[in-house]
């Protein structure tokens, strides 16, 4: 009964490198959401994906950030040319389908540190 799995749990990158964060949703879930939590702040929505489709990317920075959820395999959040301001906890969440209760199931997060 695996929950939402994220890896890596911790990632250290130097400025200018690329960061790739992976998320496997709960079994049977086809909707994936990425949220970012900056230090001492709340969770900010980044992107909502279904298999092979980006549904809402209104929270994604316009440059350097991209996300995908392929037909096979995990969802990936990719940050190119990282900067110190990208240091944050990135949480992935999933749900099965349209639920009017809105409950999302979260992973334990990936903590990115940019040196």
Binding residues for other proteins, per CB under 8 A?
Answer: 4, 6, 31, 33, 35, 41-45, 48, 55-56, 59, 91, 93, 95, 98-109
16 phi and psi angles, rounded to 5 deg:
95, -15
Dihedral sign computed on CA atoms, order 33, 23, 10, 3: positive
Return the number of the residue (9 or 15) whose C-beta is nearest other proteins: 9
Instruction: Tell me how far, at minimum, the Cβ of 108 lies from other proteins, in Å.
Output: 5
Return the number of the residue (18 or 56) whose C-beta is nearest other proteins: 56
Return the number of the residue (17 or 22) whose C-beta is nearest other proteins: 22
Instruction: Tell me how far, at minimum, the Cβ of 62 lies from other proteins, in Å.
Output: 18
Query: Tokens 């990208």 identify what position?
Result: 86
Cβ count within 10 A of residue 74: 17
CA 54 vs. chain centroid, Å, equals 13
């Amino acid at each position: 009964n695996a929950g939402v799995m994220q890896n890596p749990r911790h990632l250290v990158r130097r400025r200018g490198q690329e960061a790739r964060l992976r998320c496997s949703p709960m079994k049977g879930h086809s909707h994936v959401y990425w949220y970012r939590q900056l230090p001492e702040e709340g969770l900010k929505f980044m992107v909502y994906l279904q298999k092979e489709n980006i549904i809402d990317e209104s929270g994604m920075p316009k440059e350097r950030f991209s996300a995908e959820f392929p037909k096979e395999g995990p969802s990936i959040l990719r940050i190119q040319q990282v900067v110190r301001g990208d240091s944050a906890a990135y949480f992935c969440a999933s749900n099965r389908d349209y639920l009017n209760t809105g409950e999302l199931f979260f992973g334990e997060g990936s903590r990115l540190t940019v040196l």
